[in-house]
Amino acid sequence: MKYVKNLNVVILAAGKGKRMMSSTPKVLHNIIDKPMIYYVLKEAGKLNPENIYVITGHGRDILKGYLADNFPDVIPVFQEHQLGTGHAVSLLKEYVNENWESVLVLTGDCPLIKSETLKKLVASRQAGNYAGLLVTALLENPFGYGRIIKNQLGEIIRIVEEADATLKEKLIREINPSVYCFDVRALFDNISSLDSNNYQKEYCLTDIIEKFTYKNLKTSTLMIDDSSEILGINDRIGLSVVEKLMRKRINEKFMSAGVTITDPDSTFIGIDVEIENDAAIEPFSFIWGKTIIRKGCVIGPFAQISDCEIGSGTMINSAVIKNAKIGKNNNIGPYSYIRPGTVTNENVKVGGFCEVKKSIVGRNSKIPHLSYIGDSEIGENVNIGASSVTCNYDGFRKNRTVIGDNVFIGSDTMLVPPVRIGKGAIVAAGSVITEDVPDNAMAVARGKQINMPDGATKYRKKKESLK
């Protein structure tokens, strides 16, 4: 369902971002675990516009690739020469048809903007029949922003950029964050009349407000209370400031919904994460991607989790978990690594310094410490002794190990797949298993122990004689 009929969105993202000192396009620098433009696109998408257009320029191919992989419905428009924001928006003229009514213009480096603000802007423009309506904010330090110039009636008449402002105009605290909504006809009937007679020698979209004023077209402003919404990013310092605000916003959302976050300042949670109430997140935890954490979990400290589902009541301490599904009431860590494709069932323990890769672990099974389990299927009630390894790679292919229910694997065991350990079997410590073990059998695969009388004494004497 369309929030506002015939709305199209334009996101300006062609700039090089020189102050970022990077070969990566500015809008692809991360805020937590997502590029900054991701947040702008997600919020704009909540308005259900007809189309979203992204103006590309510097790093065009990189940005186009990101959009194709993550927002395939977004239409990239290439600005070959960066001649200003007015020129960038003018490139949309060839896409305009009779169905267009409102055009929302945003910048790709303003990731804190909220969809609620955008909805209010678009609806207010339509209700007031404005040619242009723009968001403004009051800043204590307005340096770097365009200033809003108003007449004696308090009506906006033009916008002046920082570089073109007089000393008096620079004292104005009401600023332009470059968030606009235009009537499509008013916009494209006047955009071609913009000129580059300014300090930047660019065709600036801000100048269109003065064009509207000259033609007695209705324009106005929508001032927002929370000025953090419109913070733009120009350098790495600004990037860190905005990331901290984004983390605060996300963490407070979860805490308000019944999640305990012990130290929000040291907790990093991505925008797409879901956490149910009565979960607890301990300090220095990083939770990213499309992760779901169920009720009653305790995550951290020092956990890194991405694109996982964590079952209720599970405890994860100082572990790295990626693209895995963890069952209820598991106990993971410390210093465990759960790799993609792993699925654990209820009441599973993966202890200290263990690695599990692309394996299924049955309920009530334990991999207590110092073991590697790869490409394996482990049944229920299995105990894997310390320092045991499934030797899944033979130099050519990955082979699978299958361990049945109620199996006991002794410490320091090497399982060389493809191999199957039958239900109820016991494998003696220190064994190297290369053949299947039948159900309820005991497997012992060791070389015969030889004790040489007084051998240690003779060995030491030999070494000392060589000094």
Nearest-CA neighbor of 80 among 58, 109, 108?
Answer: 58
Query: pLDDT tens-digit profile of 328-354?
Result: 999 999 999 999 999 999 999 999 999
Per domain, the residue ranges of the chain are 7-230, 259-443
- Say what percent of the chain tops pLDDT 90: 92
Is the distance from CB of 53 to CB of 8 less than 8 angstroms?
yes
pLDDT digits (tens, 9 = 90+) for 144-199: 899 999 999 999 999 999 999 999 999 999 999 999 999 999 999 999 999 988 87
Fold classified for 7-230: Spore Coat Polysaccharide Biosynthesis Protein SpsA; Chain A (3.90.550)
Instruction: Summarize the confidence of residues 30-49 as an average pLDDT.
Output: 97
Lowest mean pLDDT among 136-145, 250-259, 355-364, 381-390: 136-145
- Domain 259-443: CATH superfamily is Hexapeptide repeat proteins (2.160.10.10)
Q: Which helix (H) or strand (E) holds 383?
A: strand 383-384
The values of phi and psi at residue 249, to 5°, are -65, -45
Candidates 29, 58, 87, 369; catalytic one: 369
* Range 390-405 average pLDDT: 96
Report the pLDDT value the prediction gives residue 347, as an integer from 0 to 100.
98
What are the pLDDT digits (tens) for 78-115? 999 989 999 999 999 999 998 999 999 999 999 999 99
In the chain, the amino acid numbered 421 is I
pLDDT of residue 1: 43
Does position 278 have pLDDT exceeding 70, yes or no? yes
Burial class (CB in 10 A: 0-12, 13-18, 19+), 424: middle
Confidence of residue 55 (pLDDT cuts 50, 70, 90): very high
**Three-state secondary structure call for residue 40:** helix
Residue carrying structure tokens 């993609």: 340
User: What is the separation, in whole angstroms, between the first and last Cα of the chain?
Assistant: 88
SS3 399: coil
For residue 462, pLDDT over 50 is answered with yes
User: What is the pTM (predicted TM-score) of this model?
Assistant: 0.90
Tally Cβ neighbours within 10 Å of residue 63: 26
Instruction: Answer whether 7-230 and 259-443 agree in fold.
Output: no
pLDDT at 459: 87
Active site residue 81: no
